[in-house]
Amino acid sequence: MPDAGPGHGRRRGSGQGRLAAGHGRQRPGAGGGLRLTAADLVFNPAEAITDNTITCCLCGKAACSLTSRHLANHGINVEEYKYLCGYPSEQKLMSRNFEAKMRRNVQRAQQARKEKHRAENA
């Protein structure tokens, strides 16, 4: 790899674009450019979502919903997390009760809209 740049030692935070394949060494504290695999999961995705909590499979933390902000702490987004855990893309990252509550809110909003446009509703 020819290093054509002027040699000022400025480093960007994430080492994108440069693949550090070769040595099978993992840097524990390296922030960016981290590629997670299923081997990094500390919790079984199949058991992560229960009635009251969802457990983050990357750190084992349980909450009523798993936010994209939390996943950003792990350096991944929601889509990558779902892929990592084998969840379908329509999977909601929240507890079942929490999802039901959200769905009820959506349904209520939809119903209010339906009552406005009754013609469409048979």
β strands within 31-91, DSSP E: 54-55, 62-63
Least separation in angstroms between residue 105's CB and Zn ion is 26
Within 60-89, which residues bind Zn ion (CB under 5 A)? none
β strands within 7-118, DSSP E: 54-55, 62-63
Angle at 71 between CA 65 and CA 77, to 5 degrees: 110
Of 77 and 107, the one with the shorter C-beta distance to Zn ion is 77
Print the binding letters for residues 34-63 with Zn ion: x by CB under 5 A, - otherwise: ----------------------x-xx----
**Where along the sequence are the contacts to Zn ion (CB under 5 A)?**
56, 58-59
